[in-house]
Chain A
Amino acid sequence: MNLIRLSLAERKYIVESIEEDIRTDGRSCEDYRQIEIETRNLPNTNGSSRCKIGKTEVLVGVKAEVVDSDLHNPSIGKINISVDCSATASPHLAGRGSETMEQEVLSVLNLLYSSIDALNLTDLCIVKGESCWLLNIDVLFIQCGGNLFDAASFALKAALHSTTMPDVSVAGEGIEMELEISDDPYKVWKLNTSMCPICITLYQEGESFAVDLTEEESECSTGHIHVGVLPSGEVSAMEKSGAGNLEPIALLEMIDAAIRIGTDIHKQLHSHLLAESTTATL
């Protein structure tokens, strides 16, 4: 993603300001930009959300589909995440330029949700060994302004939280088995998102590290780690990417910071989503 051209002086200024804990926009290293989250903005999905952090804007839609159960895991449902980047999201991502970035975000999201606990997939089973729900989760970047990973993970959690699943009852047995849906639009159930992790990405800048980097700041970073944080403060996943090397001590510090920041964001996100879902209508 080395697309923004910065002069040496600019780089020096950015790195040094982070080391001084006063970033170019006035934030401290552990501060996020303003986070805006809104759910149920796509009526034809089962659940959806839009998350905006600074300039970065991402839209997530969840669509449920009935599919045959997996032979090896007959009693669980499936999720399938895809990441796409709007051609207008950033001038640098036109054409095939966005593919690498999409792949990166996808691998992080898959990592977060690869744990069985992240989402209780047994809820998505309809008839054991026969059919289950497949949640198609589409992540779309509308605007790229740094820190895509965290934004995508917040939006994803919010979308899952807003997801309503149609009530399906099973009638008949064996070959006569037939799925029936209630014609009552109020008869729906919700996913349990209490264990869904969010991603906190920490970037190494010079001797220090910071979260929620802008595009320019990311340019100067030498490496970063993605930490999956659960609401309880536990770490569910971690991945390092980027070229630079990390000191073990710095790494531990970064994880501590991720847990601290993560639990805080979880708390705020939770109360926000609760408030939204009580005011929301169909």
Chain B
Amino acid sequence: MLKAKTFVKKTKRGNIIKVVREHYLRDDLSCGSLLCKKCPHLSPAKLSEKQKAVSSLFSKPHYLVIDTNVALHQIDFLEDHNITDVVVLQTVLQEVRHLNDSLYKRIRTIIENNSKRFFVLCNEHHRSTYIDREPNESCNDRNDRAIRVATAWYEEHLKHLDIDIVLLTNDKDNRDKAIKAGLKSFQVLDYVKSLKGCENLVDHLSVQEKGDNTSTVHDKKVMFDEHLSLYDIKMGIKSNRYHQGKFEASRENYLEGFVSCTAYDKQVIIRGLKNLNRAVHEDVVAIEIFPKSQWVGASGTVQLDEKIDEEEDLNAMPDGDAQNSIYVRPTGRVIGIIKRNWRNYCGVLLPTDNTEKTRHIFIPSEKRIPRIRIETRQADVLMSHRIIVSVDCWPRSSRYPLGHFIRDIGPMGDRETEEEVLLLEHDIPHLPFSKSVLDCLPKLPWSIADYEFVLREDLRNTCVCSVDPPGCTDIDDALHYKALPNGNCEVGVHIADLSHFVRPGTALDLEAQKRGTSVYLCDKRIDMVPEVLSSNLCSLRANEDRMAFSGIWEMTKEGEIVSRRFCKTVIRSVAALTYAEAQILIDDKSRTDPLSEGLRGLNELAKKLKQRRIKAGALTLASPEVRFHIDSETHDPIGIETKELKETNSMIEEFMLLANCEVARHIEKEFPQCAVLRRHPSPPLTNFDLLVNAAAVKGIQVKCSTNAELAYSLENANIPGDPFFNILLRIVSTRCMMQAVYFCSGMLPEEEYFHYGLAVPMYTHFTSPIRRYPDLLVHRLLAASVGQDKTYTELLDRNIVHEWCENMNYRHHQAQLVQRASIALHTQLYFKDKCLDEDAYILFVRRNAIVVLVRRYGLESTIFLKAVESQVDFVYEEDKCKLTVGRVTLQMFDRVIVQISVEDCNIQHKKLRMKLVNPIIPGVSVEPIYVTMGNNDEPHVPRPDSARH
């Protein structure tokens, strides 16, 4: 039977066209019940009579039919393993797909899970359940009716069997109509409550329609302005009254947020709860800009949402005199939300005395996310656990968004729980590799196939070695050095040939592409490719034949490149050295074996290369990096050391840079439209204002109009007697810079390929394919350009490559964040029962706080000085980066002493807390602990008096 569906739609260009689709109705579709003998079972039947959850509402087994809103809002309920034997109508699926793609995917996953027994009935194509839309019937009404018709059909169809058909809907109107038609219909909440043995399931229900909560909204006080409709927003944006942008909540102040929109160079600042109007970090919002007279600057104060007071004044503004700030920015308010970007959040419950009550406040780990109100009956269990919560809505009458409980990760403070929280919070794909990925791997034992020796150069007799940090198992680079008879030398950089194993388009490739990079936590590595490849087949281990992609250069003794070639090779590394071992071989002049000679040659060459690079304006930057000694049994950190840099570190780095630059130039020439490169844009000069000002106060002049100038300034910025000052200056200048990013060469003009930090016109990543996906792409491009491999369509499409680059940038950034967070976590574990006084430097000065860096541990923390605000005068000089508290002056780069301890007054939320010891500010600073200061070189600390002006 054929039907035609006709509808009118508007095209993107504004034209209105009539669309006609042919629609076929069938009478051979099965009902999906295993008990039914009438239907021809074309698709396997799923619905059984053995429900897991027994409801007290029915005496017989029952099938559930859900409506669209249940599918949209109660997905967590549907995902629960107790909920089985559900009919999902095609109408519902289509509507969900139309409204929310990610929910649609989740429902499809449930349907594919055979143990859940979710059956899809194609009711729109079923002759008995198809209905035409009637005149004056809205689309939603028609779909609701279709759902009821399908339910009624089931009822009729399975009448002779002992089965109830239950329509679950939270729509009162729909429910009434269904009951009127003689069907059984219930609210989700009532249904869940009737289930035996699933008491906790109620927690998983979304608040949106939990009972009659919504009906009381009108009685409550309305706290926020109503959001404008999407239509009004669209119109407003078109006429430039409103602006669209991504909302970023401030990390430091919960009453402040920023929106980047194209109309303004600077981020628009939004201040105060009322103006923020329920925007949550990462939402796409529409904002209205205030008149210029109301523009303010960032408050510069640090404020955390720590009150529990519901009735807090919504007009509260961030503290601080923002109007007079010298950095005034466009200011506005949120008038509507264009797209919520809510995800599931990790966090803890706010501790209360009464765990009996069901309403609780949830504190997300991410500071930029507001607290969330949830309902749970398991508060006593969850109180000391990390949990995941999903946000449902944020009504106008609520101070906090409403959400519901999803999953319990584990007890708080537990290292594994905390690590999982980090991974989840940073969106790191960390699940084990799937079977389809593992199927792409070569079988062990494995050896290089004979024909590879025909295609590759055999360099197994060359003296190749690798130098890496101790304990490194994914060795992706190795080097060789050979003196040539003509006085020049030959240098080879050999990179693991991962592209041989990871072929484009395979499950393995797609997974690696999704992960983008390997992630290194303090005691754990999350691989980009399975371990067989990363630690074995691709790792350039000593004394094993390995395939490599090599760059071989002929150079003069002065480091001038005479010739170059790239080729795939087979190598056999003679030694996998650590930096320290390599250093010993170089330093031990008695050794004259080819390996040591080679290393010496490389080292000499590296020094020359480095000199030349610095001359060109390359920057030497610094970041406080630490390394933990991890107890092999408990995996707890037992010691901290800052990473020490040896000559050999720099040696390896030089040759990697050389290889990367050379490869970048090569692939850019061969593939000008689709080469994967890495650029580091020059920062706008204003970024350095802070640095220049702060240094000037210390009597140091920093010039930064070009990278060479900055490099020169940093080189000469020394304060006698304070060697750390220079490092500090480098740390701060690193923060002034932009992020380096991957990009596709065809997407930008050539001038922008520039790498600021390295001072080279073109750069890419080639040397670590095992742990970075971009390197793999570069390998493929390079292989294609030297005739060793084929290209494929996606690799040459610059739009696709651009998308890949975006993902790689995102993953790279997230990986960096999670690595930092992991260090912070381990630091906290390390300091668990300790309390130390340590030497520290002021990195930044805020209006009511200072950010300090503890030199020994590379720890950074904010110290609040707010407590004394009422007693002592606070004078904040933004341009001089100076804060005067009473008689004490705190200035950027000043040396202070801080006390580090883990704050455990709050068991729920342990954190590392630093307190000021010296200079002494009454009411703020604490007594030093002399016991731990057994050290003989007591740091020199400026006496408070001397700081007075």
Contacts and interface: CB of A to CB of B under 8 A. Distances in A.
Interface string A148-190: 0000000000000000001010011011101111011110000
Contacts of B10: 179-181
B495 to A, nearest CB: 56
Contacts of A171: 231
B235 A186 contact: no
A65 B136 contact: no
B8 interface: yes
A186 B136 contact: yes
B138 A65 contact: no
Contacts of A43: 4, 6, 20
A282 interface: yes
A95 B234 CA distance: 52
A251 B880 CA distance: 103
B238 A66 contact: no
B235 A183 contact: no
Interface stretch (B11-19, B49-57, B414-422, B698-706): B11-19
B230 to A, nearest CB: 12
Given A175-B239, A178-B235, A185-B6, A44 B18 contact: yes
A172 B16 contact: no
A64 interface: yes
A128 to B, nearest CB: 17
Contacts of A98: none
Given A176-B239, A186-B135, A181 B18 contact: no
B139 A181 contact: no
A64 B10 CA distance: 12
Contacts of A44: 18-20
A166 B18 CA distance: 9
B8 A166 contact: yes
B446 interface: no
Contact of A181 (B4, B8, B138, B238): B8
B7 interface: yes
B7 A64 contact: no
Given A64-B16, A166-B18, A185-B133, A176 B8 contact: no
Interface residues of B, number: 25
Interface residues of A, number: 24
A222 interface: no
A138 to B, nearest CB: 14
B6 A65 contact: no
A137 to B, nearest CB: 15
Interface string B230-254: 0100110011000000000000000
A184 B136 contact: yes
Contacts of B18: 44-46, 63-64, 166
Interface in B90-144: 133-139
A41 B234 CA distance: 39
Interface in B1-41: 4, 6-10, 14-20
A179 B239 contact: no
A186 to B, nearest CB: 4
Interface in B680-710: none
Given A43-B4, A176-B238, A181-B9, A65 B15 contact: yes
A206 B943 CA distance: 129
Nearest to A43: B20
A174 B136 CA distance: 31
Contacts of A185: 6-8, 133
Nearest to A188: B8
Nearest to A167: B8
Contacts of B7: 183, 185
A184 B4 CA distance: 16
A282 B238 contact: no
A172 B235 contact: yes
B618 to A, nearest CB: 51
Interface in A180-214: 180-181, 183-186
Interface in B385-437: none
A102 B4 CA distance: 33
A54 to B, nearest CB: 31
Nearest to B134: A186
A174 B239 CA distance: 9
B130 to A, nearest CB: 15
A221 to B, nearest CB: 41
A174 B238 CA distance: 11
Contact of B16 (A168, A176, A183): A168
Contacts of A168: 16
Contacts of B231: 171
A184 B138 CA distance: 7
A80 to B, nearest CB: 15
Contacts of A46: 18
A46 B8 CA distance: 10
A179 B4 CA distance: 26
A168 B18 CA distance: 13
A205 B231 CA distance: 67
Contacts of B8: 166, 181, 185
B631 to A, nearest CB: 65
Nearest to A44: B20
A66 B14 contact: yes
Nearest to A178: B235
B150 to A, nearest CB: 22
B235 to A, nearest CB: 4
Nearest to A65: B15
A179 B14 contact: yes
Nearest to A281: B132
Interface centre among A166, A168, A175, A179 (most CB of B within 10 A): A166
Nearest to B5: A185
Contacts of A180: 10
B133 A181 contact: no
Interface string A50-76: 000000000000011110000000000
Nearest to A186: B135
A148 B533 CA distance: 77
Contacts of B20: 43-44
Contacts of B137: 184
B135 A176 contact: no
A175 B238 contact: yes
Nearest to A172: B235
Contacts of B134: 186
Contacts of A172: 235
A189 to B, nearest CB: 12
Contacts of A175: 238-239
A183 B137 CA distance: 10
A184 B8 CA distance: 9
Nearest to B241: A176
Contacts of A176: 235, 238-239
Nearest to B16: A66
B15 A183 contact: no
Interface in B200-232: 231
A45 to B, nearest CB: 7
A44 B134 CA distance: 20
A183 B134 CA distance: 12
Contacts of A45: 18
Interface centre among A45, A63, A185 (most CB of B within 10 A): A185
A44 B20 CA distance: 6
Contacts of A66: 14-16
Given A184-B136, A184-B138, 12 more contacts: A44-B20, A64-B16, A168-B16, A176-B238, A180-B10, A181-B9, A181-B16, A184-B135, A185-B7, A185-B133, A186-B134, A186-B135
Interface of A: 43-46, 63-66, 166, 168, 171-172, 174-176, 178-181, 183-186, 282
Nearest 10 A-B pairs (CB), nearest first? A186-B135, A166-B8, A176-B235, A44-B20, A43-B20, A66-B16, A43-B4, A172-B235, A176-B239, A66-B15
30 contacts: A43-B20, A44-B19, A44-B20, A45-B18, A46-B18, A63-B18, A65-B15, A66-B14, A166-B8, A166-B16, A175-B238, A175-B239, A176-B239, A178-B235, A179-B14, A179-B16, A180-B10, A181-B8, A181-B9, A181-B16, A183-B138, A183-B139, A184-B136, A184-B138, A185-B6, A185-B7, A185-B8, A186-B134, A186-B135, A282-B6
